[in-house]
Amino acid sequence: MRPGITIGGALMERNAIGIIGAGLAGLCCASILQKRGYTPVLLEKGRGVGGRLATRRTDAGFQFDHGAQYITARTPDFRNAVARLIGKGAAGTWSGADREVIVGTPSMNAMAKVLAGGLDIRRKTRVTDLRAEENGWRAATADSVFQFDRLVVTAPQPQTVGLLGVEHPLANAISAVRMSPCWTLMATFADQQEIPFTSRSAPDSYLAWIALNSSKPGRPDTNSWVVQASADWSARNLEREADDVAQEMLLRLCGILRIEPSNAVHASAHRWRYARVEEPLGTPFCRNDAGTLYLGGDWCLGARVEAAWTSGKAIADDLLGEIDAR
């Protein structure tokens, strides 16, 4: 990191490589660059890392994986990465779905935390403005300005377009990508005698996915459920109050689980405005000719954690090739 200076109250800092977003795409990209001796700076608007690989903990000790439910690994590269995470105790198998799948342990975001180790991540740092400069890119936050020779943006596609502006040629190049929302209910019940299933996938129903989160390995021993509304229902109800949505989804869940709503000791809802990729870009990333701006994330390849990781790796490989060619 090159030292920062203060100009007009805003801290200015210049670095070689910046990455917006510490989800799986950003973390994967950064860790490859770091292994090659670079020190990328990650700017992340959230308090934690992992993005949609997310875990919510309540004061009462309940825990919910309210984003990605599990991961699957199809490519050898990602399989190796997952094996390393299992070796570090950050992932394990869960047979609560219709097949054996991989989950983070003791929480989905544990995998992201391991990948984040040793990286320079500026949390609670939301980039509000992006500008091209003669020698790279300038990313402004509420109280700082970062200048980067090369910049990687891994925010969901609509947010990436928002940062670049619709007139930007790369925003135009990714304009066909479509993402859908997802309302997610997190609920815990006291005195639940009967557990009818550990997960239920019903893509055509309004409650499209229901999982007993506490049946995943390493979770607190509570009857904690995660429920995802379908993309259609979520889109139609997107702007409703979270408490209102939680109550409606809870009542429906109670009907399915045959439990009295009064047994609920926790019920809250999270609105994922950009949850899943419906129409991916079809290539692992998008970049400008100069190789100073890269755009990537799951939206390049599909609605899966593996897609995010693959995009992040492809960006790192291309960026290193660009630097080596100079």
Residue 184 bridge partners (DSSP)? 228, 270
**Considering only residues 31, 105, 147, 154, which one is a binding residue for ligand FAD as defined by CB under 6 A?**
154
Give whole-number Cα distances, 147 to 139, 205, 293, 298, 326, in Å. 6, 47, 13, 25, 20
Peptide bond into 106 cis (omega under 30): yes
**Considering only residues 43, 81, 227, 316, which one is a binding residue for ligand FAD as defined by CB under 6 A?**
43
Q: What is the 3-state secondary structure of 171-232? A: HHHCCCCEEEEEEEEEEEECCCCCCCCCEEECCCCCEEEEEEHHHCCCCCCCEEEEEEECHH
Residue 68 engages ligand FAD in binding (rule: CB under 6 A): yes
Residue 44 engages ligand FAD in binding (rule: CB under 6 A): yes
Alpha carbon distance 223, 183 (integer Å): 20
Between residues 227 and 250, which has the closer beta carbon with respect to ligand FAD? 227
Between residues 80 and 258, which has the closer beta carbon with respect to ligand FAD? 80
Residue 275 engages ligand FAD in binding (rule: CB under 6 A): yes
Give whole-number Cα distances, 48 to 44, 162, 257, in Å. 8, 22, 32
Position of tokens 């005195």? 191
The nearest distance, CB 211 to ligand FAD, in angstroms, is 9
Between residues 62 and 272, which has the closer beta carbon with respect to ligand FAD? 272
Binders in 155-194 for ligand FAD, by CB under 6 A: 155-156, 159, 163, 182, 184
The nearest distance, CB 229 to ligand FAD, in angstroms, is 9
**Considering only residues 14, 45, 168, 313, which one is a binding residue for ligand FAD as defined by CB under 6 A?**
45
Compute the C-alpha angle 233/300/23, nearest 5°: 80
Residue 41 engages ligand FAD in binding (rule: CB under 6 A): no
Question: Interface with ligand FAD by CB under 6 A: which residues?
Answer: 20-26, 43-46, 51-53, 67-71, 126-127, 154-156, 159, 163, 182, 184, 228, 272, 275-276, 297-298, 303-305, 307-308
